[in-house]
Amino acid sequence: MDGSRPSWTAFMMAALRARHFVSTPPPRILDDSLAMPFCGFTSPDQPNAVYERLVEGLSRFGERALAEELATDLMIAGCARSRFFEDRLAEARAGGVDQIVILGAGLDSTAYRCGALTAGATVFEVDHPATQAGKREMLASIGLAPPANLSFLPFDFEAQSLADALREGGVRSHQPTIFGWLGVQPYLADETVMATLETIAAFPAGSEVVLDLIVSTGSAPDEDAMLAGSRQALASAGEAFRSTYAPDDFAARLRERGFAEIIMTSFQDWLRDNAERLGGHYVKKRNTSVLVAARL
Ligand SMILES: C[S@@+](CC[C@H](N)C(=O)[O-])C[C@H]1O[C@@H](n2cnc3c(N)ncnc32)[C@H](O)[C@@H]1O
């Protein structure tokens, strides 16, 4: 990413989590009660206005109805991937994993909000220095002290060694660890994605990585025009997509690197299978990404 300012996509995804929180009564896909303050919002009108601006921006590339569909898909996906991570985190903690590393954390609020899931664990937020500095300024401005078990590791995937950064930042490489890596893969080149998997694969058995993987789409041509347009706009804003994967190929690459248990599910299937506890059957219309949990 262009490192001159905090990630715009990190803000947008948190704003969409905030919109879900203020517009949906519980039970929700995700209860991100801190997305509002983490975005600096004080009124429910604000996430709604960000959503509306997103729809307007996407409408430059096609019909407004399609733009609304894509914006809603993004909101559902952003909430679902975080809930999927919370689920995997709960299982990992029950299995004795006490080290949590959140790669490309953005405005993720897990460490501040999910006390039951993080108590007794050490948590590390690893993110681009510009994004992390912006988050820390926001935390200070709203008077929220980070929890004592959280450490910040400023890190640029494209310029530094993750293994070195983790070691220097105090992450214990002999300890089973769960890595959250949500919404980051597309912004990294293939070799960086693979290097990251190799760094994680050096952790002990029982360690796990949880991510949402951007896949090439089978959408209709007019939908493709909107996706292509939105990705072009992202690139102009300094956050270009640099890698996409065929799910089977990615699974094979995980296996080659030693990941023994791989869960790979479409958002559609995950939303359907979890509809009861999510409070409804949310439908994500486009097959642009899949949820992945891979354990060593
Ligand atoms: C779409 S946001 C996702 C944020 C968060 N994980 C979420 O789910 O809301 C992308 C994140 O990747 C981070 N990122 C992108 N490129 C990066 C790089 N080269 N080095 C470090 N972080 C990077 C950004 O700082 C941002 O936090």
pLDDT of 222 strictly over 90: no
Atom of ligand 1 nearest to the CA of 131: 25
Q: Where are the beta strands (DSSP E) in the chain?
A: 99-103, 122-127, 150-154, 177-181, 208-214, 261-266, 289-295
Kindly report, residue by residue over 39-77, the tens digit of the pLDDT: 999 999 999 999 999 999 999 999 999 999 999 999 999
pLDDT of 234 strictly over 90: yes
Q: Which residue has the least CA distance to atom 4 on ligand 1? A: 106
83: three-class secondary structure by DSSP: helix
* Statement: the pTM of the whole predicted model exceeds 0.95: yes
Contact 42, 11 (CB under 8 A): no
Euclidean distance between CA atoms 11 and 15, whole angstroms: 6
User: Residue 184, class by beta-carbon neighbours within 10 Å (0-12 exposed, 13-18 middle, 19+ buried)?
Assistant: buried
Place of tokens 């089978």: 218
Whether residue 108 has its Cβ less than 6 Å from ligand 1 = yes
Q: Which residue has the higher pLDDT, 252 or 226?
A: 252
- Segment 173-177 shows an average pLDDT of 98
Q: Supply the pLDDT for residue 179.
A: 99
pLDDT of 223 strictly over 80: no
Atom of ligand 1 nearest to the CA of 82: 8
- Compute the mean pLDDT over every residue in the chain, rounded to the nearest whole number: 96
pLDDT interval class at 221 (50, 70, 90):
low
Q: How far, in Å, from the CA of 276 to the mean position of ligand 1?
A: 31
Whether residue 132 has its Cβ less than 6 Å from ligand 1 = no
Q: Supply the pLDDT for residue 96.
A: 98
Q: How far, in Å, from the CA of 105 to the mean position of ligand 1?
A: 6
Of 2, 7, 243, the residue with max ligand 1 atoms within 8 A of its CB, to mutate for a pocket test, comes to 7
Euclidean distance between CA atoms 7 and 17, whole angstroms: 16
85: amino acid identity, one letter:
F
Q: Which structure tokens are listed for 81? A: 């991937």
Q: Which structure tokens are listed for 71? A: 């914006």
Q: At how many degrees (to 10) do helices 64-94 and 221-236 cross?
A: 70
Euclidean distance between CA atoms 53 and 231, whole angstroms: 16
Euclidean distance between CA atoms 10 and 109, whole angstroms: 12
Q: Supply the pLDDT for residue 216.
A: 79
Burial 87-108 (b: 16+ CB within 10 A, else e): bbbeebbeeebbbbbbbbbbbb
